[in-house]
Amino acid sequence: MNSLNANIRNNTTKGQLNDLRKSGNVPAIIYGGEEVNQKIYISKKLLKNLLEKENFLSNIITINLDGKSQNVLPREIKYDIYSDEPNHVDFLRVLPGVKIKIEVPVNFINHEKSPGLKRGGVLNIVRRKVELRCPSEKIPENLTIDLDGVDIGESFKISSVKLDSSVTPTIQGRDFVIATLAAPTVMKEPEKPAEAEASEGEEGAEGAESKEAASTEGEKGASDASKGDKKDAEDKKQAEKKPSNEKK
């Protein structure tokens, strides 16, 4: 479990808050339960280290304050609109038996053991997070879905996820889908058998022979036509050379 050291703050003006931020700290507040809201401040550097970790808003954190520790859940982080640095955090007290709503991330494992993914299938994630209602002390870190042995066409619904009996999804009345393993958008064409390729090769050879025969016949016809034209021209020339008949 992650932890943060905190100090009590007694600022009353915006100027005092700005001075606190300039000194490398972030103002925060702890609320919830019967106790009064507690104003605190924490180190910005330590806070940013936790923010870099995954699922900060769904992990319980131990706040060390005045020699005492208490478990809290981050509920909201506000950022500066110019620097994008965190400038305020809201923490909810974790009290036994009190149920809260929280979004828990979905984690997929064993991708390499899925026959569907090996064949080019696509994992379509419908919900990357699922909202749950659960006791604050039983918040799951994530919902794990195992892809081992999963093939194309299979889907994962909330009913396939193991949850504690005290943990329930906020969506009730239907077994909603979290993800599906779909077929690839472009199917790979199967390789042709060697016999089919050989058959196509024979057909291609026959076609080439037919084209060659047609070409030969065409050339022969053209040659005969050329000879006929030449003979007609010679006959016409001989006729022109004959003397015309004398007048009687």
pLDDT tens sequence across 134-193: 988 888 888 999 999 999 999 999 998 999 999 999 999 999 999 999 998 765 555 666
Could you give the CA distance from residue 162 to residue 165 in angstroms, rounded to a whole number? 9
Same domain, 111 and 62: no
Same domain, 130 and 159: yes
Give me the chain's average pLDDT, please: 81
pLDDT tier, 48 (very low <50, low <70, confident <90, very high otherwise): very high
Same domain, 21 and 77: yes
Same domain, 128 and 65: no
Question: 101 versus 216: which is more confidently predicted?
Answer: 101
Q: Is 148 part of any domain?
A: yes
Same domain, 86 and 116: no
pLDDT in the model for residue 224: 53
Q: How close are the terminal C-alpha atoms of the chain, in Å?
A: 140
Contact 91, 73 (CB under 8 A): yes
| 34-51 mean pLDDT | 92
